[in-house]
Structure 1
């Protein structure tokens, strides 16, 4: 009986010892896990001071309400010119390429056509006849005044003279529109060529012809665009159009080229609805136009039109680190012996304004929680690459 009691006591003692060891191991694991959680990122006091790091907290801030829009970079109608010929002809000279800069009044292209010579010939012949027709008209006018000739002869002379004057004036105007000097034609200096000049200063945006090809007066030859003043042509959906007002700020970017945002302002709002897309056109002007990149006309843009303000919880923008697929903050867990222990936490962000970014999941953090400001990006970036601190 005594032996059995000792045996049972020994078994109980062994069981208690095993349970106690297991508990200690669990506590040890828990401490290790806690330690790992607390030391995602460790910053020494010297590092914190020397690198000018700062701490910040989530607080109430003002953020804009906006309307989403899309559109393109464009220029005013007076800054765009499609070049056509006054009369058809063959391309004799076409020296310009897309992208070439031209000035108003510069020769763009030269046409050749035998009909140009015919017009000049008709003009000179008619000019010679006018002297006789004018003299005959004045003679008949004097005779009819003295009742020496019939009024019929006078009216005939008057009709022929005035009709010839009209034809002469028309031919002279044609020559001027062809940029052929009428005075040189009157001296017998004919040309089979006519030049077309740039109506505006700008750059060649498109060319539609090649040397030797024939163009009619209806065919476009090239297009010139002056990008000295560009603007935004945006499309806003019907449900948002009443929120948009003149003078509101526009933020836009070129998604195919860069994530950088540029600024503009609503200048005009259309009053007719595009029935196909149920949108209205909004015309915007760029701010600091002289300091913007060389935007190309026709570039697709995504824009946000600020329509008001709302209050939300946010933090300094420098605290938020974009890792491509998610956004993170470094939350201060504890400060011990001058060192700072941070935990990397994922956040949901909203709008950004004046250096502050909206944080949507503020319920995940305790009131008064502090986060690393300056230096957060470098530490999270280095941590993602496997460095230790």
Structure 2
């Protein structure tokens, strides 16, 4: 009985000792915050592959931040409408189809087209008679055989008919109806609308049987060969932006890929309540093939370059819109770091500029790698 009690007591003591040793070992491998300092053991430093170093002088590009969209100049975007409303008779086009200038897009049908042609023919037939009557009255008036009143009335009737004739003729031309065919008695209740520019169909609002009024946009065509950047920059930055400067931009909603462009045109007036100015950038053929009109972009216009103290991007801790680095305070068997506020400057692909202050300069030792392990 005594031996069993001794064995159980020994088992409990061994178990408790093992648990205490394990907890002590785990605590030793975790970060310890003491008096505002973050303490890291040698084991954690090595296992997390941390690295200490000083800020290094780097070349940084000075940029103006902006946003905007992928767009095309107004002359390469067309909204197709009809001069006189009608019902959709036929179309084979869909969004994404390519069309060329002059290509038949859609057929409309309406009896109003017949009424227009009928009015044109009636006026065309009257005009010859009115012209003859005008010339006759003029001759009689010149010979003082008829009154001036009859002469002026004949002239007025003729000129009114002539104006109506020209107006109806122009309407037929706008509807793509040949006036010569109408004068020969070839009437039609259908018209065809042709593409005003070459490009891609980006909007299609037409279905067979649908009535389209003159105010309705039937479809929209965009010539993607002329895609460009349309950016907005604030008034305070405009004097730094010039033609030919490099632009880097991303389409945050679609890709992480970075694209490049150049400033082509800078606006000459401040627009809207936001006090912004338009800046346009050119795109390469390869870049155009990856983008769509209307895409939102975030861009940096590179206006200059400068030297500055840089640290790897991963060396920065950001909390509540403030930025910090971990400055080495002391090292013996452990590493002690102090979280120190810094002001950031420009950015490159791998480095971020930090502005020197009383606590951080070119000789300061700070944690360059492994900050993520301690920043939370």
- TM-score w.r.t. length of structure 2: 0.68
Residue 274 of structure 1, CA deviation: 2.9
Q: Does 1:156 align with 2:164?
A: no
The equivalent of 2:4 in structure 1 is none
RMSD: 3.3
Q: Does 1:294 align with 2:299?
A: no
The equivalent of 1:77 in structure 2 is 74
5 Å matches for 1:30-45?
A: none
Residue 229 of structure 1, CA deviation: 1.1
The equivalent of 1:3 in structure 2 is none
**Is the 8 Å Cα contact of residues 65 and 300 (structure 2) preserved in structure 1?**
yes
Of the three residues 253, 272, 275, the one matched with 1:274 is 272
**Is the 8 Å Cα contact of residues 234 and 277 (structure 2) preserved in structure 1?**
no
SS in 1 for 2:201: strand
TM-aligned CA distance change 1:154 to 1:322, over 3 Å: same
Residue 243 of structure 1, CA deviation: 3.2
The equivalent of 1:177 in structure 2 is 174
Of the three residues 252, 256, 262, the one matched with 1:255 is 252
Which runs of no fewer than 5 residues in structure 1 stay unpaired? 1-32, 42-56, 327-347, 372-379, 381-389
TM-aligned CA distance change 1:106 to 1:58, over 3 Å: same
Residue 218 of structure 1, CA deviation: 1.3
SS in 2 for 1:309: strand
Rg bigger for which structure? 1
5 Å matches for 1:223-242?
A: 223-242=220-239
* CA offset digits 1:259-316 (Å, max 9, x no partner): 22111222213522431xx34133222243445433111111111111222202469x
**Is the 8 Å Cα contact of residues 253 and 302 (structure 1) preserved in structure 2?**
yes
SS in 1 for 2:348: strand
**Is the 8 Å Cα contact of residues 264 and 284 (structure 1) preserved in structure 2?**
no
5 Å matches for 1:310-325?
A: 310-313=306-309
5 Å matches for 1:56-71?
A: 60-71=57-68
The equivalent of 1:307 in structure 2 is 303
The equivalent of 2:215 in structure 1 is 218
* CA offset digits 1:100-123 (Å, max 9, x no partner): 111111111111111111111111
Of the three residues 120, 124, 127, the one matched with 2:124 is 127
Work out the CA distance in 1 between the residues paired with 2:314 and 2:285: 29
- TM-score w.r.t. length of structure 1: 0.66
Q: Does 1:93 align with 2:90?
A: yes
Residue 38 of structure 1, CA deviation: 7.3
SS in 1 for 2:124: helix
TM-aligned CA distance change 1:357 to 1:236, over 3 Å: same
5 Å matches for 1:288-367?
A: 288-313=284-309, 351-352=347-348, 357=351, 363=363
Work out the CA distance in 2 between the residues paired with 1:148 and 1:292: 76
Residue 193 of structure 1, CA deviation: 0.8
**Is the 8 Å Cα contact of residues 203 and 225 (structure 1) preserved in structure 2?**
yes
The equivalent of 1:23 in structure 2 is none
TM-aligned CA distance change 1:298 to 1:350, over 3 Å: same
Which runs of no fewer than 5 residues in structure 2 stay unpaired? 1-40, 319-343, 355-359, 371-376
The equivalent of 1:331 in structure 2 is none
TM-aligned CA distance change 1:168 to 1:154, over 3 Å: same
Work out the CA distance in 2 between the residues paired with 1:142 and 1:349: 90
Work out the CA distance in 1 between the residues paired with 2:181 and 2:313: 74
